[in-house]
Amino acid sequence: MYRTWRFATGCNDACAIDDYRDICPVFFFGGIHSKKGFFMGIVRKPSVTPPSSRSPVDATPSRTRPGSATFGDGPAVKIFRPDTDQAQVEVPRQSAAADSMITVSSMPSAQILPMHPMAGSLARYSLRAPANLPAANALGLRVFKSRNYVDIAPGEIVLVRETGTAGEYRAALVSELVALGPVLFYHPLSKTWTLERPHPLPEPGKVIDIDIDQLVRKVRKEHAQKHRVHTGNDDSFEYSAAQEGALVARGLKQFPPEQAAIIRSELQAVESIFADAGHAIGQNYKDADAVYESFFGVDHHAVAQRFADSVARGQALSSEYQGTWGDEKFVGVDADSNSAAWMYKRDFHGRFFINRKYMQRGVLSISLGHEMLHTNRIDRFQTIGPNAADYFYLDSRLGRLLNWDTLADYDVPERSVSDAIMRGGLTVEYLNAFTNDHDNFLFGVSDYLGIGDDLPLQTAVDLFNANPSLRAHLAVNNADSLVYAAKSMQTLHQSKTEYAWLDSLIDD
């Protein structure tokens, strides 16, 4: 279970809350938030039992590693290269014998087109089809230099790659090793590819005039209207959440309109953070290295691909949470506790439980971004989350507890804290400011170094501070580091975009 906590400055009971083995808190100091979370590879409470009363946690709890860690349950990490430039289709060369007979002129380069009405989410993949591109084969594929292009509209093409599922093609960019775009389907009658699956042509004598998908949708809609059915309704996770307060809204349609509007707006802000960060990665800004070093240390080059992968997954997740299946994944809770928002790692539905008392525009976005980075597979979603952990948290108000004399001043305050930690300034006092349960951090250190689990916390901190590679590895798998690194990259990208004209004047 992952939570968002809110309490007043100076509270000494920050660590005396629920069993942290099953929650991911986001702390608020003086009304200003900073999200916190916990790694899933440790022992957890059974989710069917309600949260325990908030009593002090034993400062030296015994640690037991689960028999099967959550890492093994997830899929293999998809490796891809960040989006840079759109693909350009080159002109096939004439044979040497024909050179003397004809004049060869350059074929126009593929150009990025504006969004076509039927293209939808294919706008970033759409290319203008050169006149000399080979004709489509029987499968509807235009094959050129071992690449497959398909027609999505007259004069418009998209590069596609076949996935692990036979016959399934996804839109892709040349810069991607793994296709990340939507699945496309070939329509033999129109000889174009669309986002909608074509209806199979019936065989003579076996005509069945039934749209199964439409029929299923109709039955679900009628059933939901009669019985108000909700995914996971009254399951163990909702039971646990109900111990905190009354469940008053299942799905965004049951929230008051102004609160639903805040959630939708904050989801758009999350998507913007990851999208801008992805653009910054693709542009290879010179200033980006300084951002990488602040969040991942001097060995940031070794984990740059992992960061790019997590950013892409975060963008895709934030988009899907705004889609058809995302509406039902927000549950409103009227709770008297200081919990602002939380989610359960093992909840396959990927729901956010939001305490309606603490919904704030401009604050919820970072919290949502942090939490969704913990996810792996989510039902009805195509995107697979990065399955990030929570080894440590970033809070600029606690920078005085780090072993660093002066913190740098950045547009994103959390970057200064991360910078000190990545330079080897982590302390036991800083970790204790959030929780007394440090199993997540201890297991992360011991697993990376291949040593025993029974490390004293001070020893683990010393090993962390002494090993740049270890720091980079934990940081690039740490939800707080990922979301704030993306936020910092967004700030860099926006500044470059906004003042590009000024840079050009200086260059002149």
Phi, psi dihedrals of residue 131, rounded to the nearest 5°: -65, -30
Alpha carbons 297 and 47: distance in angstroms, whole number: 36
pLDDT of residue 337: 78
Where residue 119 falls among pLDDT bands split at 50, 70, 90? very low
- The CA R_g of the chain, rounded to the nearest whole Å, is 26
* Contact of 34 with 55, CB cutoff 8 Å: no
State the average pLDDT over residues 452-463: 92
Range of the domain at 116: 107-194
Compare 202 and 355 and report the one with higher pLDDT: 355
Where residue 481 falls among pLDDT bands split at 50, 70, 90? very high
Compare 369 and 37 and report the one with higher pLDDT: 369
For residue 3, being part of any structural domain is answered with no
Instruction: Write out the DSSP string of 275-338.
Output: HHHHHHHHHT-TTHHHHHHHHH-TTGGGGHHHHHHHHHHHHHHHHHTTSTTTGGGEEEEEESSS
For residue 334, being part of any structural domain is answered with no
Where residue 412 falls among pLDDT bands split at 50, 70, 90? very high
For residue 174, being part of any structural domain is answered with yes
pLDDT of residue 341: 80
Compare 146 and 172 and report the one with higher pLDDT: 172
Query: How far are the Cα atoms of 394, 412, 423, 466 from residue 416, in angstroms, in the given order?
Result: 9, 8, 11, 19
Exposed/middle/buried for residue 276 (C-beta within 10 Å: 0-12, 13-18, 19+): buried
Q: Torsion angle, CA of 196/201/207/212, rounded to 10 degrees?
A: -20
Alpha carbons 430 and 426: distance in angstroms, whole number: 7
Whole-model pTM: value is 0.58
For residue 81, being part of any structural domain is answered with no
Nearest alpha carbon to residue 90 among 78, 76, 104, 80: 104
pLDDT of residue 145: 84
For residue 481, being part of any structural domain is answered with no
Where residue 37 falls among pLDDT bands split at 50, 70, 90? very low
pLDDT of residue 344: 87
- Find the length of the chain: 508
pLDDT of residue 401 exceeding 90:
yes
What is the three-state SS of 389-432? ECCCCCCHHHHHHCCCCCCCCCCCHHHHHHHHHHHHHCCHHHHH
For residue 239, being part of any structural domain is answered with no
* Contact of 138 with 148, CB cutoff 8 Å: no
Question: What does the pLDDT look like over 389-399, one tens digit per residue?
Answer: 999 999 999 99
For residue 462, being part of any structural domain is answered with no
Q: How many domains does the chain have?
A: 1
Where residue 167 falls among pLDDT bands split at 50, 70, 90? confident
Where residue 322 falls among pLDDT bands split at 50, 70, 90? very high
Kindly state the percentage of the chain with pLDDT values over 70: 68
> What is the average pLDDT score of the chain?
77
170-181 burial, b for 16+ CB within 10 Å, e for fewer?
A: bbbbeebeebbb
State the average pLDDT over residues 338-366: 85
Query: How far are the Cα atoms of 142, 167, 455 from residue 139, in angstroms, in the given order?
Result: 9, 10, 59
pLDDT of residue 215: 72
